[in-house]
């Protein structure tokens, strides 16, 4: 039997197929530019001889239903999944589980409704995740479907770490608090670090760093997350590719007053036009590093700011943990 894992985004579908017995990867792929006339699908798989091969398609993919059908056709063409009956289960990445979900859970209509209720906390992510869930359940109604939440690993945060210094009623009535993200990544690398060190995770203090276009840090004490850099949304914390990370909240009032920026413009500014891109015009770390090596002063500044913010978080988490066994 096999396990299929889906990460359904607003305009893309990432997927991976595992062998159930040892979780070895049989195939992985991506359908991108969903809804675009120039959609593309790619599958990388290991054939019966043990060689890695690739299949591609460039047909127009109108929606997520067609994206999942394209994925199924590629898996069937590769021979890695001849029929959906070979699946023992389907796993779905869901970005926001709020305070409702602390661990993976099998999906039914009640769970779907609960995920829908959390859309205000993740308006860009949860709807896309739900589309993938609904379509997958249509194609494979008889196969167990499981939701895995980015926020779940951080539900062990103590109250003093997740409550903001705002009127407490905002937490009680609107659930304004720190949630944290990239939880599946932080949890996995912490487990791998413990395995590498040959020590129980429950006996280790670890700082984990998820560094990509989106970036976050986590402080893990005896296997439990006690603090993390992202907050109510993935905007807080480290300097990221296009996101500002931490900044003085009063900057927003100033920009609204002096530059005439409304809420939507401020949202776009902080989420899509800031971070490394805002400083040096690029959010690709490879390109920034190359430019810095060539003497580009803005690229060098972007790298310095990125690393300085990272060092501040590492130092703070070392203090919060009271000592660190490793940084991953």
pLDDT digits (tens, 9 = 90+) for 213-256: 889 999 999 999 999 999 999 899 999 999 999 999 999 999 99
And the tokens for 26? 């049989």
User: If you write DSSP's letter for every residue of 245-291 in order, what string do you get?
Assistant: -S--THHHHHHHHHH---HHHHHHHHHHS-HHHHHHS---HHHHHHH
For residues 86 and 17, what is the distance between their CA atoms, to the nearest angstrom?
11
Question: CA neighbours within 13 Å on the CB side: how many for 62?
Answer: 2
DSSP H or E stretch at residue 89: strand 87-94
Residue 132 near residue 68, CB atoms below 8 Å: yes
- Angle, alpha carbons 187-238-149 (nearest 5°): 35
Please report where in the chains the tokens 């389907």 appear, as a residue: 90
Q: Is 40 left (phi over 0), alpha (psi -120 to 50) or beta?
A: beta
Q: Which residues 6+ apart lie within 8 Å of 127 measured at CB?
A: 10, 119
- 22, 150, 227, 284: the active-site residue: 150
Calculate the CA 108 to chain-centre distance. Answer: 23
Q: Domains of the chain (ranges plus CATH)?
A: 2-149 (3.30.420.40), 198-327 (3.30.420.40)
Given a cut of 80, whether residue 271 has pLDDT beyond it is yes
Q: Is position 150 annotated as part of the catalytic site? A: yes
The predicted model gives 269-287 an average pLDDT of 95
The predicted model gives 49-68 an average pLDDT of 88
Strand 52-57, strand 215-221: pairing: unpaired
Each residue's pLDDT tens digit, 112-163: 999 999 998 888 789 889 988 998 999 888 999 999 999 999 999 999 999 9
And the tokens for 79? 């021979």
For residues 282 and 274, what is the distance between their CA atoms, to the nearest angstrom?
10
What single DSSP character describes residue 301?
H
Instruction: Give backbone dihedrals phi and psi of 45, rounded to 5 degrees, phi first.
Output: -150, 165
pLDDT over 90 percentage in the chain:
81
């Amino acid at each position: 039997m096999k396990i299929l894992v889906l990460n359904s985004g607003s305009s893309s579908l990432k997927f991976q197929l595992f062998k159930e017995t040892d979780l070895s990867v049989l195939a992985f792929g991506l359908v991108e530019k969903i809804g675009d006339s120039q959609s593309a699908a790619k599958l990388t798989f290991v054939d019966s001889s043990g060689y890695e091969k690739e299949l591609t398609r460039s047909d127009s993919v109108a929606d997520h239903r067609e994206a999942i059908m394209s994925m199924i056709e590629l898996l069937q063409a590769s021979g890695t999944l001849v029929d959906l009956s070979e699946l023992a289960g389907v796993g779905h990445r869901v970005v926001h589980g709020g305070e409702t979900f602390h661990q993976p859970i099998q999906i039914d209509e009640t769970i779907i409704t609960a995920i829908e209720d959390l859309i205000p906390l993740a308006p860009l992510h949860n709807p896309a995740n739900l589309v993938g869930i609904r379509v997958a359940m249509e194609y494979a109604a008889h196969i167990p479907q499981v939701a895995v939440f980015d926020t779940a690993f951080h539900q062990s945060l103590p109250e003093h770490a997740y409550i903001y210094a705002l009127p407490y009623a905002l937490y009680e009535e609107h659930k304004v608090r720190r949630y944290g993200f990239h939880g599946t990544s932080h949890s996995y690398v912490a487990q791998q670090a413990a395995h590498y060190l040959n020590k129980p995770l429950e006996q280790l203090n670890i700082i984990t760093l998820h560094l990509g276009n989106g970036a976050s840090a986590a402080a893990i004490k005896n296997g439990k997350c006690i603090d993390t850099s992202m907050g109510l949304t993935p905007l807080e914390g480290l300097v990221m590719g296009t996101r500002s990370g931490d900044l003085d909240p009063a900057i927003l009032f100033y920009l609204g007053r002096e530059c005439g920026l409304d809420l939507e413009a401020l949202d776009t500014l902080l989420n899509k036009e800031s971070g490394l891109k805002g400083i040096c015009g690029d959010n690709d770390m490879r390109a920034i590093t190359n430019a810095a090596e060539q003497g580009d002063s803005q690229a060098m500044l972007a790298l310095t700011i990125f690393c300085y913010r990272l060092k501040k978080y590492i130092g703070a988490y070392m203090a919060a943990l009271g000592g660190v066994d490793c940084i991953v």
